Protein backbone atom coordinates (compact mmCIF):
# COMPACT_ATOMS: atom_id res chain seq x y z
CA UNK A 1 0.00 0.00 0.00
CA UNK A 2 1.19 3.54 -0.71
CA UNK A 3 2.51 5.30 2.37
CA UNK A 4 1.45 8.87 1.58
CA UNK A 5 -1.14 10.91 -0.29
CA UNK A 6 -0.61 14.35 -1.82
CA UNK A 7 -3.72 16.43 -2.47
CA UNK A 8 -3.83 19.60 -4.58
CA UNK A 9 -7.08 21.42 -5.23
CA UNK A 10 -8.87 24.41 -6.65
CA UNK A 11 -10.64 26.94 -4.47
CA UNK A 12 -14.26 26.10 -3.49
CA UNK A 13 -14.03 22.43 -4.45
CA UNK A 14 -14.93 20.99 -1.01
CA UNK A 15 -11.31 19.95 -0.59
CA UNK A 16 -11.34 20.38 3.19
CA UNK A 17 -14.31 18.03 3.54
CA UNK A 18 -12.74 15.41 1.26
CA UNK A 19 -9.40 15.60 3.08
CA UNK A 20 -11.12 15.22 6.46
CA UNK A 21 -13.01 12.18 5.18
CA UNK A 22 -9.79 10.59 3.88
CA UNK A 23 -8.00 11.21 7.19
CA UNK A 24 -10.93 9.74 9.15
CA UNK A 25 -11.03 6.58 7.01
CA UNK A 26 -7.29 5.92 6.83
CA UNK A 27 -6.12 7.25 10.17
CA UNK A 28 -3.28 9.00 8.33
CA UNK A 29 -1.71 12.16 9.79
CA UNK A 30 -2.51 15.43 8.03
CA UNK A 31 0.43 17.63 6.99
CA UNK A 32 -0.38 21.12 5.72
CA UNK A 33 1.71 23.76 3.97
CA UNK A 34 2.46 25.46 7.30
CA UNK A 35 3.89 22.21 8.68
CA UNK A 36 6.26 21.91 5.70
CA UNK A 37 7.20 25.59 5.94
CA UNK A 38 8.05 25.18 9.64
CA UNK A 39 10.26 22.19 8.82
CA UNK A 40 11.96 24.07 5.96
CA UNK A 41 12.61 27.03 8.24
CA UNK A 42 14.12 24.73 10.87
CA UNK A 43 16.39 22.93 8.39
CA UNK A 44 17.49 25.92 6.31
CA UNK A 45 17.53 28.80 8.76
CA UNK A 46 15.29 30.85 6.44
CA UNK A 47 12.56 32.59 8.41
CA UNK A 48 8.94 31.52 8.01
CA UNK A 49 8.09 35.09 7.00
CA UNK A 50 10.64 35.01 4.17
CA UNK A 51 9.33 31.68 2.94
CA UNK A 52 5.74 32.92 2.86
CA UNK A 53 6.78 36.03 0.90
CA UNK A 54 8.41 33.86 -1.75
CA UNK A 55 5.26 32.10 -2.90
CA UNK A 56 4.14 32.75 -6.51
CA UNK A 57 2.14 35.96 -6.68
CA UNK A 58 -1.29 36.48 -8.17
CA UNK A 59 -2.22 39.12 -10.71
CA UNK A 60 -1.75 42.70 -9.57
CA UNK A 61 0.65 41.87 -6.71
CA UNK A 62 4.44 42.36 -6.66
CA UNK A 63 6.61 39.45 -7.72
CA UNK A 64 9.11 38.12 -5.18
CA UNK A 65 12.82 38.26 -5.83
CA UNK A 66 13.55 35.56 -8.43
CA UNK A 67 16.55 33.90 -6.82
CA UNK A 68 15.24 34.22 -3.26
CA UNK A 69 12.11 32.43 -4.39
CA UNK A 70 14.12 29.61 -5.98
CA UNK A 71 16.27 29.23 -2.87
CA UNK A 72 13.12 28.96 -0.77
CA UNK A 73 11.64 26.28 -3.00
CA UNK A 74 14.89 24.30 -2.78
CA UNK A 75 14.56 24.43 1.02
CA UNK A 76 10.89 23.38 0.89
CA UNK A 77 11.74 20.51 -1.44
CA UNK A 78 14.40 19.28 0.97
CA UNK A 79 11.96 19.56 3.89
CA UNK A 80 9.42 17.46 1.96
CA UNK A 81 12.09 14.86 1.22
CA UNK A 82 12.98 14.60 4.91
CA UNK A 83 9.34 14.29 5.99
CA UNK A 84 8.51 11.61 3.41
CA UNK A 85 11.61 9.58 4.28
CA UNK A 86 11.11 9.76 8.04
CA UNK A 87 7.33 9.35 8.29
CA UNK A 88 4.65 7.11 6.83
CA UNK A 89 0.86 7.22 6.65
CA UNK A 90 0.69 10.93 5.80
CA UNK A 91 -1.71 13.12 3.83
CA UNK A 92 0.05 16.18 2.37
CA UNK A 93 -2.53 18.83 1.52
CA UNK A 94 -1.77 22.14 -0.19
CA UNK A 95 0.78 23.77 -2.46
CA UNK A 96 3.61 21.58 -1.13
CA UNK A 97 1.93 18.48 -2.52
CA UNK A 98 3.46 19.40 -5.90
CA UNK A 99 7.09 19.34 -4.78
CA UNK A 100 7.93 15.59 -4.68
CA UNK A 101 9.09 14.32 -8.10
CA UNK A 102 7.28 11.55 -10.03
CA UNK A 103 10.13 9.13 -9.23
CA UNK A 104 8.69 8.72 -5.70
CA UNK A 105 6.13 6.06 -6.53
CA UNK A 106 4.83 5.43 -3.02
CA UNK A 107 2.84 8.69 -3.27
CA UNK A 108 -0.73 8.79 -4.52
CA UNK A 109 -1.10 12.17 -6.25
CA UNK A 110 -4.62 13.60 -6.16
CA UNK A 111 -6.23 16.73 -7.60
CA UNK A 112 -9.68 17.92 -6.50
CA UNK A 113 -11.35 20.31 -8.93
CA UNK A 114 -14.75 21.41 -10.27
CA UNK A 115 -16.14 23.46 -13.12
CA UNK A 116 -16.39 27.23 -12.67
CA UNK A 117 -20.19 27.29 -12.31
CA UNK A 118 -20.10 24.78 -9.45
CA UNK A 119 -17.30 26.67 -7.71
CA UNK A 120 -19.06 30.02 -8.05
CA UNK A 121 -22.22 28.48 -6.62
CA UNK A 122 -20.31 27.19 -3.58
CA UNK A 123 -18.60 30.56 -3.10
CA UNK A 124 -21.94 32.38 -3.03
CA UNK A 125 -23.46 29.82 -0.66
CA UNK A 126 -20.51 29.39 1.70
CA UNK A 127 -19.08 32.93 1.75
CA UNK A 128 -21.95 35.07 0.54
CA UNK A 129 -19.96 36.51 -2.37
CA UNK A 130 -21.80 38.19 -5.24
CA UNK A 131 -21.44 36.09 -8.40
CA UNK A 132 -19.05 38.53 -10.12
CA UNK A 133 -16.84 38.82 -7.03
CA UNK A 134 -16.83 35.05 -6.54
CA UNK A 135 -15.71 34.47 -10.11
CA UNK A 136 -12.91 37.04 -9.84
CA UNK A 137 -11.75 35.64 -6.49
CA UNK A 138 -11.57 32.12 -7.93
CA UNK A 139 -9.66 33.29 -11.01
CA UNK A 140 -7.11 35.16 -8.89
CA UNK A 141 -6.53 32.07 -6.77
CA UNK A 142 -6.28 29.89 -9.89
CA UNK A 143 -3.66 32.31 -11.23
CA UNK A 144 -1.51 31.80 -8.13
CA UNK A 145 -1.83 28.03 -8.44
CA UNK A 146 -1.11 28.21 -12.17
CA UNK A 147 2.13 30.12 -11.53
CA UNK A 148 3.19 27.53 -8.99
CA UNK A 149 2.43 24.65 -11.36
CA UNK A 150 4.41 26.35 -14.14
CA UNK A 151 7.40 26.97 -11.86
CA UNK A 152 7.47 23.49 -10.34
CA UNK A 153 6.32 21.19 -13.15
CA UNK A 154 6.79 23.31 -16.30
CA UNK A 155 3.18 22.56 -17.21
CA UNK A 156 0.86 25.32 -18.45
CA UNK A 157 -2.34 23.83 -17.04
CA UNK A 158 -2.77 23.37 -13.26
CA UNK A 159 -5.62 20.90 -13.85
CA UNK A 160 -3.82 18.73 -16.41
CA UNK A 161 -4.74 15.15 -15.50
CA UNK A 162 -1.26 13.84 -16.43
CA UNK A 163 0.14 15.58 -13.35
CA UNK A 164 -1.88 13.40 -11.00
CA UNK A 165 -2.83 9.78 -10.32
CA UNK A 166 -6.41 10.86 -9.69
CA UNK A 167 -8.22 13.96 -10.90
CA UNK A 168 -11.63 14.06 -9.23
CA UNK A 169 -14.53 16.46 -9.97
CA UNK A 170 -15.91 16.67 -6.44
CA UNK A 171 -19.40 18.05 -7.11
CA UNK A 172 -20.39 15.38 -9.62
CA UNK A 173 -18.67 12.61 -7.64
CA UNK A 174 -19.71 13.57 -4.12
CA UNK A 175 -17.55 14.21 -1.06
CA UNK A 176 -17.78 10.70 0.41
CA UNK A 177 -17.34 8.99 -2.96
CA UNK A 178 -14.33 11.21 -3.73
CA UNK A 179 -12.74 10.14 -0.45
CA UNK A 180 -13.56 6.47 -1.13
CA UNK A 181 -11.90 6.60 -4.55
CA UNK A 182 -8.72 8.00 -3.00
CA UNK A 183 -8.63 5.43 -0.20
CA UNK A 184 -9.38 2.51 -2.49
CA UNK A 185 -6.61 3.44 -4.91
CA UNK A 186 -4.29 3.93 -1.95
CA UNK A 187 -4.97 0.36 -0.86
CA UNK A 188 -4.75 -1.27 -4.28
CA UNK A 189 -1.07 -0.61 -4.89
CA UNK A 190 1.80 -2.79 -3.69
CA UNK A 191 5.20 -1.15 -3.30
CA UNK A 192 8.68 -2.59 -3.70
CA UNK A 193 10.33 -1.53 -0.43
CA UNK A 194 13.87 -1.79 -1.87
CA UNK A 195 12.97 0.27 -4.93
CA UNK A 196 11.22 2.82 -2.73
CA UNK A 197 14.24 3.15 -0.44
CA UNK A 198 16.55 3.73 -3.41
CA UNK A 199 14.28 6.39 -4.86
CA UNK A 200 14.05 8.09 -1.46
CA UNK A 201 17.84 8.03 -1.04
CA UNK A 202 18.18 9.70 -4.44
CA UNK A 203 15.46 12.23 -3.60
CA UNK A 204 17.16 13.15 -0.33
CA UNK A 205 20.56 13.41 -2.01
CA UNK A 206 19.43 15.62 -4.88
CA UNK A 207 17.38 17.83 -2.54
CA UNK A 208 20.32 18.19 -0.16
CA UNK A 209 22.81 19.05 -2.92
CA UNK A 210 20.40 21.47 -4.58
CA UNK A 211 19.79 23.26 -1.27
CA UNK A 212 23.53 23.47 -0.58
CA UNK A 213 24.24 24.98 -4.00
CA UNK A 214 21.31 27.38 -3.70
CA UNK A 215 22.73 28.62 -0.39
CA UNK A 216 26.00 29.31 -2.23
CA UNK A 217 24.21 31.29 -4.93
CA UNK A 218 23.91 28.71 -7.72
CA UNK A 219 20.67 28.44 -9.68
CA UNK A 220 20.82 24.79 -10.73
CA UNK A 221 18.55 21.78 -10.94
CA UNK A 222 19.83 18.51 -9.49
CA UNK A 223 18.63 15.02 -10.31
CA UNK A 224 19.98 11.80 -8.86
CA UNK A 225 19.83 8.15 -9.85
CA UNK A 226 21.61 5.52 -7.79
CA UNK A 227 23.73 8.28 -6.19
CA UNK A 228 24.90 9.63 -9.56
CA UNK A 229 24.09 13.32 -9.96
CA UNK A 230 23.25 15.43 -12.97
CA UNK A 231 23.52 19.16 -12.27
CA UNK A 232 21.85 21.43 -14.82
CA UNK A 233 22.53 25.14 -15.05
CA UNK A 234 19.14 26.88 -15.07
CA UNK A 235 19.97 30.53 -15.64
CA UNK A 236 22.58 32.15 -17.90
CA UNK A 237 22.84 35.36 -15.88
CA UNK A 238 23.36 33.39 -12.68
CA UNK A 239 26.27 31.52 -14.30
CA UNK A 240 27.80 34.80 -15.46
CA UNK A 241 27.37 36.40 -12.03
CA UNK A 242 28.99 33.44 -10.26
CA UNK A 243 31.81 33.35 -12.78
CA UNK A 244 32.44 37.05 -12.19
CA UNK A 245 32.52 36.58 -8.43
CA UNK A 246 34.82 33.57 -8.79
CA UNK A 247 37.22 35.56 -10.99
CA UNK A 248 37.15 38.47 -8.56
CA UNK A 249 38.09 36.21 -5.65
CA UNK A 250 40.86 34.52 -7.67
CA UNK A 251 42.44 37.69 -9.04
CA UNK A 252 42.27 39.54 -5.73
CA UNK A 253 44.87 37.08 -4.44
CA UNK A 254 47.54 38.27 -6.89
CA UNK A 255 50.24 40.52 -5.46
CA UNK A 256 49.84 44.12 -6.56
CA UNK A 257 46.10 43.94 -7.27
CA UNK A 258 44.26 46.90 -5.74
CA UNK A 259 40.81 46.21 -7.18
CA UNK A 260 39.00 44.03 -9.72
CA UNK A 261 36.15 44.64 -12.14
CA UNK A 262 34.62 41.92 -14.30
CA UNK A 263 32.38 42.18 -17.33
CA UNK A 264 31.97 40.69 -20.79
CA UNK A 265 33.72 41.65 -23.98
CA UNK A 266 32.10 42.40 -27.32
CA UNK A 267 33.00 38.89 -28.52
CA UNK A 268 30.94 37.28 -25.78
CA UNK A 269 27.76 35.66 -27.12
CA UNK A 270 25.17 34.76 -24.47
CA UNK A 271 23.12 32.86 -27.06
CA UNK A 272 25.96 31.06 -28.82
CA UNK A 273 24.09 27.76 -28.87
CA UNK A 274 21.80 29.35 -31.46
CA UNK A 275 24.69 31.06 -33.34
CA UNK A 276 23.12 34.47 -32.94
CA UNK A 277 24.95 37.76 -33.32
CA UNK A 278 26.84 38.60 -30.13
CA UNK A 279 26.14 41.85 -28.34
CA UNK A 280 28.00 43.93 -25.79
CA UNK A 281 26.89 43.36 -22.21
CA UNK A 282 27.84 45.58 -19.29
CA UNK A 283 28.59 44.33 -15.78
CA UNK A 284 26.29 44.84 -12.85
CA UNK A 285 26.81 47.74 -10.45
CA UNK A 286 28.14 45.57 -7.64
CA UNK A 287 31.19 44.72 -9.74
CA UNK A 288 32.15 48.46 -9.58
CA UNK A 289 32.96 48.50 -13.28
CA UNK A 290 32.29 51.16 -15.86
CA UNK A 291 31.07 49.91 -19.26
CA UNK A 292 33.63 52.03 -21.08
CA UNK A 293 36.51 50.38 -19.23
CA UNK A 294 35.46 46.96 -20.54
CA UNK A 295 34.96 47.81 -24.19
CA UNK A 296 38.66 47.43 -25.00
CA UNK A 297 39.88 43.88 -25.24
CA UNK A 298 43.43 42.60 -25.22
CA UNK A 299 46.39 42.83 -22.86
CA UNK A 300 46.71 46.42 -21.68
CA UNK A 301 48.77 48.27 -19.07
CA UNK A 302 49.91 51.87 -18.62
CA UNK A 303 53.30 50.98 -17.23
CA UNK A 304 55.76 48.12 -16.88
CA UNK A 305 54.28 46.98 -13.56
CA UNK A 306 50.71 47.07 -14.91
CA UNK A 307 51.70 45.19 -18.06
CA UNK A 308 53.51 42.53 -16.02
CA UNK A 309 50.52 42.16 -13.70
CA UNK A 310 48.09 41.86 -16.61
CA UNK A 311 50.34 39.29 -18.29
CA UNK A 312 50.64 37.22 -15.11
CA UNK A 313 46.87 37.16 -14.63
CA UNK A 314 46.22 36.45 -18.30
CA UNK A 315 48.57 33.46 -18.32
CA UNK A 316 47.08 32.09 -15.11
CA UNK A 317 43.54 32.24 -16.50
CA UNK A 318 44.61 30.80 -19.85
CA UNK A 319 46.05 27.82 -17.97
CA UNK A 320 42.50 27.29 -16.68
CA UNK A 321 41.21 27.29 -20.28
CA UNK A 322 39.45 30.63 -19.81
CA UNK A 323 39.14 32.96 -22.79
CA UNK A 324 39.42 36.39 -21.17
CA UNK A 325 41.05 39.75 -21.87
CA UNK A 326 42.94 41.56 -19.13
CA UNK A 327 43.61 45.26 -18.63
CA UNK A 328 45.44 46.83 -15.68
CA UNK A 329 45.99 50.39 -14.50
CA UNK A 330 47.66 51.38 -11.23
CA UNK A 331 46.90 47.95 -9.77
CA UNK A 332 43.24 47.96 -10.77
CA UNK A 333 42.43 45.01 -13.03
CA UNK A 334 39.62 44.81 -15.58
CA UNK A 335 38.62 41.37 -16.88
CA UNK A 336 36.51 40.86 -20.00
CA UNK A 337 34.95 37.41 -20.43
CA UNK A 338 35.05 36.59 -24.14
CA UNK A 339 33.73 33.06 -24.52
CA UNK A 340 30.52 31.53 -23.21
CA UNK A 341 31.54 27.92 -23.65
CA UNK A 342 34.78 28.20 -21.68
CA UNK A 343 32.85 29.96 -18.92
CA UNK A 344 30.37 27.09 -18.68
CA UNK A 345 33.18 24.54 -18.77
CA UNK A 346 35.05 26.29 -15.97
CA UNK A 347 31.96 26.56 -13.75
CA UNK A 348 31.06 22.92 -14.46
CA UNK A 349 34.53 21.78 -13.42
CA UNK A 350 34.33 23.89 -10.27
CA UNK A 351 30.94 22.42 -9.27
CA UNK A 352 32.07 18.86 -10.03
CA UNK A 353 35.13 19.23 -7.80
CA UNK A 354 32.99 20.70 -5.02
CA UNK A 355 30.02 18.31 -5.07
CA UNK A 356 31.96 15.08 -5.70
CA UNK A 357 33.37 15.42 -2.18
CA UNK A 358 29.90 15.32 -0.59
CA UNK A 359 28.99 12.12 1.24
CA UNK A 360 26.85 9.74 -0.80
CA UNK A 361 27.81 11.10 -4.23
CA UNK A 362 29.27 8.53 -6.63
CA UNK A 363 29.80 10.76 -9.67
CA UNK A 364 28.66 14.09 -11.11
CA UNK A 365 27.69 15.18 -14.61
CA UNK A 366 26.95 18.76 -15.65
CA UNK A 367 24.44 19.87 -18.27
CA UNK A 368 22.52 22.94 -19.41
CA UNK A 369 18.87 22.92 -18.38
CA UNK A 370 15.88 23.55 -20.62
CA UNK A 371 15.32 26.98 -19.12
CA UNK A 372 18.92 28.17 -19.53
CA UNK A 373 18.34 30.04 -22.77
CA UNK A 374 14.72 30.98 -22.19
CA UNK A 375 14.28 34.74 -22.27
CA UNK A 376 11.90 36.68 -20.03
CA UNK A 377 9.60 37.23 -23.01
CA UNK A 378 9.25 33.48 -23.43
CA UNK A 379 8.14 33.03 -19.83
CA UNK A 380 5.66 35.88 -20.17
CA UNK A 381 4.21 34.12 -23.18
CA UNK A 382 4.01 30.84 -21.23
CA UNK A 383 2.15 32.54 -18.39
CA UNK A 384 -0.27 34.18 -20.80
CA UNK A 385 -0.89 30.78 -22.36
CA UNK A 386 -1.49 29.32 -18.88
CA UNK A 387 -3.99 32.09 -18.15
CA UNK A 388 -6.10 30.83 -21.06
CA UNK A 389 -6.69 27.52 -19.26
CA UNK A 390 -7.95 29.08 -16.05
CA UNK A 391 -10.04 31.68 -17.93
CA UNK A 392 -12.18 28.98 -19.56
CA UNK A 393 -15.43 29.18 -17.57
CA UNK A 394 -17.05 26.43 -19.64
CA UNK A 395 -14.43 23.80 -18.87
CA UNK A 396 -15.84 20.63 -17.33
CA UNK A 397 -13.97 17.84 -15.58
CA UNK A 398 -14.42 14.07 -15.39
CA UNK A 399 -12.75 11.46 -13.21
CA UNK A 400 -9.28 10.84 -14.67
CA UNK A 401 -6.86 8.06 -13.74
CA UNK A 402 -3.12 7.99 -14.36
CA UNK A 403 -1.42 5.32 -16.46
CA UNK A 404 -0.42 3.23 -13.46
CA UNK A 405 -3.96 3.32 -12.01
CA UNK A 406 -5.43 2.39 -15.40
CA UNK A 407 -2.94 -0.45 -15.66
CA UNK A 408 -4.32 -1.92 -12.44
CA UNK A 409 -7.84 -1.46 -13.79
CA UNK A 410 -6.95 -3.49 -16.89
CA UNK A 411 -5.57 -6.20 -14.63
CA UNK A 412 -8.83 -6.28 -12.70
CA UNK A 413 -7.46 -4.76 -9.49
CA UNK A 414 -9.14 -1.38 -9.79
CA UNK A 415 -11.54 -0.88 -6.90
CA UNK A 416 -14.94 0.48 -7.87
CA UNK A 417 -15.78 3.92 -6.40
CA UNK A 418 -19.09 2.62 -4.99
CA UNK A 419 -17.39 0.16 -2.61
CA UNK A 420 -16.47 2.00 0.61
CA UNK A 421 -13.41 0.67 2.41
CA UNK A 422 -12.72 0.74 6.14
CA UNK A 423 -9.19 1.03 7.48
CA UNK A 424 -9.20 -2.50 8.94
CA UNK A 425 -9.80 -3.98 5.48
CA UNK A 426 -7.05 -2.09 3.64
CA UNK A 427 -4.47 -4.86 3.91
CA UNK A 428 -6.87 -7.41 2.45
CA UNK A 429 -7.48 -5.65 -0.87
CA UNK A 430 -5.87 -7.15 -3.98
CA UNK A 431 -2.75 -5.25 -5.00
CA UNK A 432 -0.54 -5.13 -8.06
CA UNK A 433 2.88 -3.72 -8.89
CA UNK A 434 2.82 -0.02 -9.82
CA UNK A 435 3.33 1.22 -13.35
CA UNK A 436 5.44 4.31 -13.90
CA UNK A 437 3.22 7.35 -14.14
CA UNK A 438 3.58 9.71 -17.11
CA UNK A 439 4.27 13.12 -15.61
CA UNK A 440 6.06 16.32 -16.47
CA UNK A 441 9.61 16.87 -15.30
CA UNK A 442 9.50 18.45 -11.87
CA UNK A 443 11.89 21.32 -11.32
Both 265 and 321 in a single domain?
A: yes
CATH code (residue 423) = 3.40.50.300
Residue 434 lies in a domain: no
DSSP secondary structure code for residue 325 in this structure: E
At 66, is the pLDDT very low, low, confident or very high (cuts 50, 70, 90)?
Answer: low
In this prediction, residue 399 carries a pLDDT of 94
User: Mean pLDDT, the chain, as a whole number?
Assistant: 80
Both 73 and 172 in a single domain?
A: yes
Q: How large is the average pLDDT for residues 312-341? A: 88
Both 50 and 153 in a single domain?
A: yes
Residue 380 lies in a domain: yes
Instruction: Examine the pLDDT at 410 and tell me if it is beyond 90.
Output: no
Report how many domains make up the chain: 2
CA distance 77 to 107: 15
Instruction: Examine the pLDDT at 374 and tell me if it is beyond 90.
Output: no
Both 63 and 182 in a single domain?
A: yes
In this prediction, residue 68 carries a pLDDT of 63
Both 278 and 418 in a single domain?
A: no
Sheet holding 29-32, edge to edge: 29-32, 90-93, 4-9, 107-113, 166-169, 400-401
CA distance 108 to 125: 31
Both 395 and 330 in a single domain?
A: no
Both 383 and 328 in a single domain?
A: no
In this prediction, residue 288 carries a pLDDT of 36
What is the domain range of residue 297? Answer: 236-342
Residue 102 lies in a domain: yes
CA distances to 115, 122, 139, 204 from 84, in Å: 32, 33, 32, 10
Contact indicator for 237, 372 with CB cutoff of 8 Å: no
Residue 202 lies in a domain: no
Instruction: Examine the pLDDT at 137 and tell me if it is beyond 90.
Output: yes
Q: Dihedral through CA 83, CA 85, CA 91, CA 97, nearest 10? A: 70
In this prediction, residue 60 carries a pLDDT of 41
Both 169 and 280 in a single domain?
A: no
Q: Out of 47-51, 137-141, 286-290, which region has the weakest mean confidence (pLDDT)? A: 286-290
Both 131 and 251 in a single domain?
A: no
Both 144 and 252 in a single domain?
A: no
> pTM for this structure?
0.76
At 191, is the pLDDT very low, low, confident or very high (cuts 50, 70, 90)?
Answer: low
CA distance 381 to 170: 31
pLDDT, greater one: 62 or 437: 62
Q: Out of 102-106, 110-114, 245-249, 313-317, which region has the weakest mean confidence (pLDDT)? A: 102-106
Residue 182 lies in a domain: yes
Amino acid sequence: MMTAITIFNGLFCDAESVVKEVVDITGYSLVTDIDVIDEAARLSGISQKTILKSFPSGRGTPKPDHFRSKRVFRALRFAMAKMISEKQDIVFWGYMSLLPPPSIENLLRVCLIDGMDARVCKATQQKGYPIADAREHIRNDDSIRSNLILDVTDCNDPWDSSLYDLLIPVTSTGIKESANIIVQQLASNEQDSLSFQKSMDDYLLESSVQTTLADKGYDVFVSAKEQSLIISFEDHQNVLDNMSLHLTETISGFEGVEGVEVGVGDRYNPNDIFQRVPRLRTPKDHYSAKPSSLESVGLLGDGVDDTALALEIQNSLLNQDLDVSVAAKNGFVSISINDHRSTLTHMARYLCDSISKQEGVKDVDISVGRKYYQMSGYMRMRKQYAEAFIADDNREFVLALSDRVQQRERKGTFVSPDRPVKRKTLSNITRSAPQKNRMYLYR
